[in-house]
Amino acid sequence: MFPLPPTLLDRWRRRNWRPDAQTAQYADQARVTVITGASEGIGRALAGEFARAGHDLLLVARSSDQLAAVAAELSPAGVKITTLAADLATPEGCEAVEAALTNAGAYCDVLVNNAGIGMGGPFASQSRSDLMRLADLNMRCVTDLVRRFLPGMLSRGAGGVLNVASLGGLIPGPQQAAYFASKAYVLSLSEALARETAGQGVRISALMPGAVATKFHARMGAEHAYYLNLTGVMSPEQIARAGYRGFRRGQRLVFPGILHHLNAIVLRTLPHWFSVPVVGWMLRQRQAG
């Protein structure tokens, strides 16, 4: 079957959309793609993909210096890039994102929820404050930002949300229990909202990377865990390219690469009584050698 032209695809995606009383207010505002956790890793690579595709960007992270470096790196793309240093693990950080758009006379056309942290080791040995910060950044922040910007997308019948989840969201993860659980939340939320908004012109996708060649694993003491060798490690750029393509196509779940598809099938097929102990063995923190 030949693919439909983009115009017909767009019409199909908006088959149930009707303008409402709020739609006209966006006519004179600028469209902006908001990317959180944009200072490094997958977020930085996604910023490059969206910039090269002509999206004006609002890049959000805690480090203003790193954000400035990313903006300078992307400046040849010829798009307008604004940066915001904010701690999204706090309600004030999410409020600052919305305020930055309002002050710029812009609206969030595409929201990329990439900001997140991981924690390795036994749950009972982890500090309560660190666990609460993980929950705030990985789950509350995602929920907060989607709720702030999704109504406007639905009113316009355009735009979308790309949530960076994980293959870990498909299964419990002993030794990274809170992190895997937080990604299960992101995955479930994304799939549910994609169903709720179907036919209203809004794309909602969950990007499902596995192990990534970044500092992420070292930060939670898992740089020598077996899963890095057994599941395949991809570069942030590879994952970002697949994520952007999948989002543009309207895929609800975006698996970057054949190996990730196969891993997902295995994780969804094997019973938990077998797979969870194996995953726990793979995730266990180990010393070099």
> CA of 136: how far to CAs of 62, 190, 217, 268, in Å?
15, 17, 20, 27
Distance, CA of 274 to CA of 171 (rounded, Å):
11
In the block, residue with structure tokens 């070099």: 288
The reply to whether 107 belongs to the active site is no
| 240 class by beta-carbon count within 10 Å (0-12 exposed, 13-18 middle, 19+ buried) | buried
Question: Most distant CA pair in the chain: distance in Å?
Answer: 63
Q: How far apart are CA 58 and CA 227, in angstroms?
A: 34
- Whose tokens are 């970002």? That residue is 240
* Active-site residue, from 179, 185, 226, 227: 179
Q: How many Cα atoms are found within 13 Å in the side-chain-facing hemisphere of 83?
A: 21
Question: What residues are labeled active site?
Answer: 179
